[in-house]
Structure 1
Amino acid sequence: MLIHKHAILGLLLATLVYLTDAGRCSWEINVTEHDQFLLMPSPVQANESCWWRLHAVEEGHHVVMKVRNEHNLTGCPRTLAVYDGHNSSDPLLAEICATEKMSIASSGRTLYVDMEQANTFAETRINILVHAVRECGGQLTSFGTYTELTSPGYPLDYYRNLYCSWVINTESESETVILKLTDVDMDQSDMCKNGAVTIYNSNSSDESLLLGRFCKTAYTGSIVQSSQNTLKIEFSANVSSPGTYRGFKLQFYSVAEKSCNFTTELVENTSMFIYSPGYPNSYYNDLHCLWDLWTPNEMDIVLEVVDSELEGSNPSCSEDAVTVWRQYKKVETFCGTSTPNFTIPDGLKVMFTTRPAVGKKGFRMKLTAGKQNITPSCGNQNLTVVQSDRYLVSPGYPMAFERRLHVDCLWTLTSSDPDMMVHIEVLDSQMDGYRDCDSSDKVYVYDGPDTTAAVIQIWCGNMKPVVQSSGSTLTVRFVTTDRRLRRGFKLKYTETREPFSCGGQISVTNSSEQYLVSPGYPGNYRRNMKCVWILRSPQNTRIYINVRKSSIGDGNICTDSYVSVRNGANEYSKEIGVFCGEAGPYYISSGNVMSVILHTGPGSVKQGFLLEYISGSYHDPYDCGGHIHLNSTVTFCRLTSPGYFSNYYFDMKCVWVIETNNQNLQVSTERVDITFSPSCREEYLTLNDGSLSQPSLIGKFCGQLQFQKEFVTSGKEMVVTFQSRRPNNVHSGFSVLVVDGDFEACTLQEQMAWDTITYITSPNYPFNYPRNVHCSWRLDTDGDADMAVQLTVISLNITKVSTACDSNYLEVFDGYDPSSQSLARWCGAGQDHDVLSSSGRYLFLKFDTSYDTPNTGFNVSIKRIFSPQASRNGLIIGIAVGATAGVFVLVAIGYHVVRRGSCFQSDTIAHRTNLRRFFYKNTHQ
């Protein structure tokens, strides 16, 4: 006969149970760490009660009672009342049905169980197992390797009415504790009220230093880190929690105090905290912390900065700073005592950097993951405007970050006093859209009680306009597409009697996408306005503004409507630029303050402007020029005007001195676009051969130079100078390329002379020729031996060193090379209009200079003519032919006279001779 295994085990254990003389179903039981079954009479009589007093034999132990229904009983024939002590006068822990499954632990060494039978006879079985467990919690030490910690009973069911507390300390005070939850399986109750694993950033249960409270199932590994060398873990389980759960398993280890980089998953609807290293004491210098936080299933992360005390001040945050990133895009940077909060989908990165300066308390930020239930509710759409500040935000602001919502909200803002106007100032704006706000999320502002009124402002993107109604009512309409929304907008509204004044103070940060727009943009601005904006950035930074869109005035004549940009805090500061028309310049301030002044005249109105501004460590454009040394490593440099290719500034003078270790320098003018003035007196680019103390002008430019021109210096040094004044419109400036090497200013040049006039000039003409150059030109009539080269001196100004012209001169040779006969040698000045010709098809020019002070050089013209030698030969041949013809004529005449008896006269001979001469002249003219 087979006997059930549980019955056999029960009989064996019964021999170990101490049974008192308290009735047929009441027991006093000593409990050890070994499992024991609770026995009872079976069947139990109707209305019969039984009790057990369970007592842990060893100190430092709890009693655990496990109720197991392995027979799939239904209903509740027996009820168990469990008391945390010796009898029913102690705290009642639970009243449970004997058919449930549950594990309950005593808080001390004793547990009292009272069972009441139903009022009917029942043949039921109950499976209750008891054993003793050691007290949980205590002091632990963290090392550089993983240590594992689990809840009591893990991975089997954890016990109700159990509280465990562990304090973990690192071996060294210069270390922190990193804790990784690898498994959490508990009753997922709201606010973890039925039990949780709670972690504190200290050795106490201080809620202000909470690191995280977990009761949701989390298998992927959530990570928290202490800010100092101590961390506390608490584990609690409420008796009323239904079901069976494993509890938790975690790992902990220690790292250096400046090691503050980890990647972790955020559990849905569970908050955890990040602390700066050292918090709440001062943080450390030269930190670079990066926390990578992500969520599964495209949940949102709500980041709330609870406490912040960092070195530096917003918005620059040039000292210590916390930067929040979404993927590779910066969301926000904060420092000082700023405590921002925002919602970011999917995941984010938090970066904390410090400099070697005084450390502050640091920060504490709370992170929660979950599905944010944001509905596009417009809220109260009829708003009363009073003199105190009130605020209007877009639906879901700022939680609508990158959501797909379609919103169309209309708000009517009405002044409490009909004689006052409505003034709104946009404080924050982050929406889709750019420049003209076409096909994007946008806000319309109507100058009246509904959308039939005139539109006085449209904004989108990051624009932050200031708008004011002309009457007592103003209407705001917010319209979005089906694209992802950004943060939305926040604006401040008040009522006022003051007339609308544009302009104001603007704080400039190093964040991108900060925009300034003219009033009404992208609608038209008003006539006869003057707006002054003062832009300020942090100390030791400069302001960069880039005009993204401009439509101002009529054309590029900046007289009626224009924008003036100045270096300073008012409209009387040094002006660095003016733009109008369709110009798109950019400017950089010399300090941390810049003024932008809009002037509109009585003429036609246009769209206005949109400019982007940002602060940073930009180079002062007025600090231009400098000394450049070219060598074997740096063989070239490109010089450009400040602001190239957009625009240069007013009243600039830049001087560059370029030197080389090589023989000389070659300069190429790649582009010149400078305001033109006669003789380039006002604005110019000059190239000087030589040093600052002994310059020789070899080039001067203004206006527009569309072709490249090259210059070669005489030696190892040159000077480039750029001077600007006040152009009437925007010019791009210049770009020149300087290369070092061993260049020849000029070599032997072969040049043809044609019937039309061409010109030959000295190098750099009409500016100074280089020192110590040797130039030559071989001029040819294209192979025609009957033609010659005629040279005419147009201008000549060569430094005369001696009367013999033996060091600086221009010499002309009648032939193929300088071994031919010299026709002339010139130096000095005053040979203008001298003319000479070659005797044959070639003419050779030689130009030599010394190290003496150079001059402008020469300009000569050449053309092809008939050779004089060919003319003399023609004359001789003509005479010979004529004589022969004359003899033939005389013979013919004589023959005629003899035959005809005719007579002839001498004037007839003279006439024939004249005919011959006429023929010659016509032939060789």
Structure 2
Amino acid sequence: MDAAHARTNRLDACKCRSVNFGVVVASGELKSPGYPTNYCNYLNCKYEIEAIPHQSIHLSIISFETELRHDFLEIHQTFTFANTQYSARVATLSGKNIGWPSFASSIGSGFILKFVTDSTKTFAGFHVLFSRINATSSTNSCPPFFYEATGEEKALPSPPTNFAYFTGCAYMLNTSDGHSIKLNLKWLSSKAKFTVYETENYQVSADYTVSPLSENIGSMGATPKEIISRTNSILILLAVVQRDLLSAAARNKFIFEAQFSRTDSPCKCFPRNHTIRTDRPTTLSSPGFPTEYCDKLDCETELQLDQYVVDSTHRNAIVIEIHTFNLEHGSDFVHFLDRWKHSSKHLISRTGELSTSRNRFFTFCGKSAALRMTTDSTVTNKGFNMTISVMQKKDDCRCKGETQPLEFSSSGETFSFSSPADCGFLDCFFHFNRPVTALDTDRIRLVINITYTFKNGEEEFLEVLTNINNYNIIPSHLNERDITMDTVLEKICENNLLIVFEIGYKFSKLKIYNNWLSTYSFEPVLAQNGTEEITNDMPVMIWYHLAADINRHVAQFDFDYKWKSICECGRLQLEAKKDVWKQLTSPDYPNHYCNSMKCQYLISAPQGYVVVANITELALEPNEDVLAIFDGTNTTDPRIRIISGVEIFTDLLRSTAETMTVYFETDVSITNKGFVLYYTASSASSISGPYHFIKEASSVNDRSNGAGKLRGSKHLGIISFILLLLITGIVISGLIYYKQLLCFANRRDRWHGLIQYLGSRNEIMDIACPESTRLNAHVGTVVEFNMLYFATTIDFFRE
């Protein structure tokens, strides 16, 4: 009873109890749920202290302890503009040793506190006191928070040098759309810090690292200083670094002197046309570079060669070298387009950072091209800077086709492409569309076989792009490709690679995630040559990139593609034969099966025989996709087994007569690999093995038979124990092999692998490499030995 009551109290303590302190509440306190014991996970609590005109609110942190960089207390200041209340975050607290900060609101402003926790560690939390005071002295109240910038230059009010709060004051300056804010910081006390943010950047998630537009520390910065925003709103945070020396060092009575006004935005688009000359390179930078670009940009420029054809055997090409690239990942892009006559074709789009990309060069094949920069209305970063130059190339150092990408719209074709030994820069695209003869209702799959030989260039890779109906976004963190086991371990160790193994009875697939950490790791991660098969249910684009010094090697690629019908059940009437094991698989195995399928197979054995089935693999969507086995000719006959999810079978399934029905049904959501079932015919009079529906024959009149069974069970126990020892030895040997395979040394760094092994009894075994380093990655591995299944998870770490 007491324990249940304690649990109830603990659950109640986890409730936020979000509180609003109205204008009648002169003072009070705020505590995190459960304080002073640990708070709970997944909290999102809100506390508001309403504003009163001509009054200021003082907020004091009495106690504070949270998980650093995971659990946060956000302090937002409220303000009223045009009879509407707004709020802006002015501080974020996390961790333990933050001191005992005190905050003073602006006159007529209030506070909103938000306490957010994640699912990991918990600590004591926070205890906060607040009180209201009349704003009779500028030493204990901040100036008004919100200001509207106009064409007239205005002074930004400053607290006096004897201001009582280290945390300082906050200001928000806004102006009309299409304009920016010009802030002239004329003087700053040597013991004060004056930081300017684009408001939208500072209001992002608390765990996001925000770069200021300008950071000024009085003793280190030079004034006067002009600051021009990239958006129409900035947030200014003023902090007192050392109050004791503030008054003595000040030349006047105030901490800073600044003026602000509205100005034209510096984020005008770059020129719409650039002529790329053969005698000198062209530099192109994002608007606002090297500070920050702006919101809602849509800037496009056409690149035109001043001379395309050099002579009968040579042509010029446009080559881009990217020096700086830092865009908001997944939201802001630079799009690369091929121009032909009066139309443009999209090739790829870049986002994120250059340091985590595989290439910094890009080559256009035609006479003209286009670059287009688009940004959203949220975070802005540094932008990009690139050099555009002309490179003379032989006619055989070109991509196939007049324009890029080269389109393929037939049901199948074979073609080749090569890059000669004296060819160093290429970017070629092959776009495989659905056949023009295919109907919208046709369910087909693209199968591409590529036989390749690389030049072993510094920047050389073959990329499969599958989201071509949208943008072909180069990932800023991961680049994934399938390769064969022909890649030797020594080659893997030469590169910064994250490895994913999918293993059956042998290594069947190995995925390489390249360029995780090194700035420029451009060694080819594919084997120097080999053959690959690529499958996809939607159109695919394949991109070959080369940027390298000329060497003696030739790159050769042979493509053979076709669109195959999928989602077909196949032959439904199957014949089982004695001593012959035939295979039945889910449609399109080993690829994923399709949605909305209903397949019913009838397996028939000769007269006097029964059907025996052995399910060796099963991976279905749990509770939604099913495989059912029936003892007879239809699904209305007695059911032998119905299965869903992932399951391991140790028993054979057996019908009681000549027929067995196998029924497979899927829904409209998740798909999986499917099933593999082997079947044969067995004499109805012969019984061997642990068949389903089999009962051991016995004689109640034969006591010796009972003793024989006892002895047999002992023998069976001994045999089972020996088999268990053998299996355990195989598993331990396999794990030792994985440790040896995964704990390898990179030429720049040491790697650490943590392997968790899940056996048939849910046992956990850890194998750790000697040195612990941190790499934010997770890899899943599945290992199958005969009829046993071992699920393994591997975590890599790198400091």
Normalising by structure 1, report the TM-score: 0.25
Structure with higher Rg: it is 1
Which structure carries more relative contact order (alpha carbon 8 Å, separation 6+)?
2
